[in-house]
Amino acid sequence: MEYAVRGPIAIRAVELERELANGAQKPFPNVIKANIGDAHAMGQKRITFIRQLLECIANPSSMKIDKTLPSDVIEHANAFIGSCRGNSAGAYSRGTGVEVVRKHVSEYISRRDGGIPSNSEDICLSRGASESIRNVLKLFINRNNSIYRNKKKVGIMIPIPQYPLYSATIGEFGLGQVGYYLREVSNWSLDEAELERSFNGHRKEYDIRVLCIINPGNPTGQVLSRENIETIIKFAHKKKLFLMADEVYQDNVYAQGSEFHSFKKVLVEMGEPYSKLELASFHSVSKGYMGECGMRGGYVEFLNLDPEVYALFKEMISAELYSTVLGQAVIDAVVNPPKEGEPSYALWKKERDAVLASLKERATLVEKAFSSIDGISCNPVQGAMYAFPQITIPQKAVEIAQSRNQHPDFFYAMELLESTGICVVPGSGFGQRDGTYHFRTTILLKPELFKDMLARFTDFHAKFLAQYK
Ligand SMILES: Cc1ncc(COP(=O)(O)O)c(C=O)c1O
């Protein structure tokens, strides 16, 4: 199992920070961590409404003492606490999550999807989306016909490039990775011919049962069009695949003309037979405008899941003793934010809009900056929190990397780190077409820091090309 986002380059970045703190001389004054999509770690401001709600839920006596707390925060907090066992966030929640939060999640989904019903019984809350994604993948571990009897493993189709949680979990669970390439030339879109090629190329080896989609994409930043989603749904129907839609960046859409369409909405609107497909879709409090990664809140909504399988799923998560209750409180704040006319509304809206406007600005800034460097091309960052530029690596550098048993873009990213202090994730950690090289950078850096990063990067890149030409 390998998880590139926290791999050797990220580890070396932490070491370099320590060396600098201990007075070591380096060609750079500080380490710039452009490797992770962790908004608060990059200095993003907390959303007041979310933190006030947490304060009340964690310490209910503050509601009596702190006279500055808005009345709607207190109402939200009391409704939440009233739904906790023993009226305390310190109690285990039900297996699927605090009841009132599940209800608010289903109302949120229905609002988002233009009124398409959502049933709170189909929603399970979890420690971030990761836990739900892993638990759904766990359903496909089939010990009877895979590793133990040496027959076909269950195959899981994932995009390439992909978020490495998928490849790591597939490896850990003994499943089979069936990669389908996103088309870089058409802004990382997905085409049916490629899905067919990938499916047919792996069907002998694997019993392919699942198709995973990440929309908006990580690391690629694309937002799938509705037509593209319909094509994927038709393909999943044709091949009888279970759909997993990772939609954790649903609030992070920046490009003009791009719009988020949930898989659930499109699938239901397509009508039968497509509306009968099995679907699990995921959301999280880690991204969007709130960026509350450390709180660990997420959920899965199931559609058309076999009731017997769902019963087993719930039993399985019960055995893990449920997800964090304060994380569920953050989900509640996200899916049931202040409404117009309530005391917290104006500040909440101002803070949310400011974060999203700033991310939008940075998405354009990052794309334009990298596209303007010789030997680098960068697709528009339509959504999510990353750019995934393609870099030209001279043959001499490729050969040196290979002689060290390293991917060429790993070699590049390590040289970049050692020379400039900039930490990015090499494209090989996400997967990419053979012979192409990329890196992933977050767009979360503050503009001043990004300017600094760009100056260091441009200088390094020119020197790297000259050195290995
Ligand atoms: C595409 C994607 N899915 C899932 C996750 C996991 O999110 P969480 O923090 O909710 O577990 C991430 C985190 O970066 C992600 O980028």
DSSP string, 303-319: ES--HHHHHHHHHHHHH
pLDDT at 148 over 70: no
383 CA → ligand 1 middle, Å: 14
CA dihedral 229, 235, 238, 239 (to 10 degrees): -120
218, 38 Cβ separation under 8 angstroms: no
pLDDT band for 267, please (50, 70, 90 cuts).
very high
pLDDT at 146 over 70: no
What single-letter amino acid sits at 354? Answer: A
Which residues, 6+ apart, have CB-to-CB distance to 362 below 8 Å?
443, 444, 445, 447, 450
| Averaged pLDDT of the chain | 94
Mean pLDDT of 86-114: 94
282-295 residue pLDDT tens:
999 999 999 999 99
351 CA → ligand 1 middle, Å: 22
Q: Domain 4-44+350-468 sits in which CATH superfamily?
A: Aspartate Aminotransferase, domain 1 (3.90.1150.10)
At 1 the pLDDT is: 64
Mean pLDDT of 409-429: 96
Reported in sequence order, the residue ranges of 332-445 that DSSP labels E, i.e. its strands, are 376-377, 386-387, 390-391, 422-423, 425-426, 437-442
- CATH placement of domain 87-335: 3.40.640.10
462 CA → ligand 1 middle, Å: 34
Provide the residue ranges of all domains of the chain, joining segments of one domain with +.
4-44+350-468, 87-335
pLDDT at 150 over 90: no
pLDDT band for 271, please (50, 70, 90 cuts).
very high
How far apart, in whole angstroms, are the C-alpha atoms of residue 56 and residue 333? 12
Q: Which residue has the higher pLDDT, 469 or 125?
A: 125
At 7 the pLDDT is: 85
At 284 the pLDDT is: 98
188: closest CA among 205, 209, 213? Answer: 213
The CA–CA distances, whole Å, from 357 to 215, 371, 451 equal 20, 22, 18
327-359 residue pLDDT tens:
999 999 999 999 999 999 999 999 999 999 999
At 238 the pLDDT is: 98
Mean pLDDT of 394-418: 96
The lowest-confidence range among 135-149, 168-182, 386-400, 431-445 is 135-149
pLDDT at 431 over 80: yes
pLDDT band for 95, please (50, 70, 90 cuts).
confident
pTM, rounded to two decimals: 0.94
At 145 the pLDDT is: 57
At 357 the pLDDT is: 95
- The two tokens of residue 261 are 């369409």
280 CA → ligand 1 middle, Å: 15
Say what percent of the chain tops pLDDT 90.
91
pLDDT at 54 over 70: yes
The lowest-confidence range among 140-149, 213-222, 271-280, 306-315 is 140-149
pLDDT at 447 over 90: no
Ligand 1 contact, 37 CB (< 6 A): yes
Ligand 1 contact, 293 CB (< 6 A): yes
Pocket test for ligand 1, best of 42, 130, 158 (most atoms within 8 A of CB): 130
pLDDT at 303 over 70: yes
205-251 residue pLDDT tens:
999 999 999 999 999 999 999 999 999 999 999 999 999 999 999 99
182 CA → ligand 1 middle, Å: 19
pLDDT band for 149, please (50, 70, 90 cuts).
low
Ligand 1 contact, 126 CB (< 6 A): no
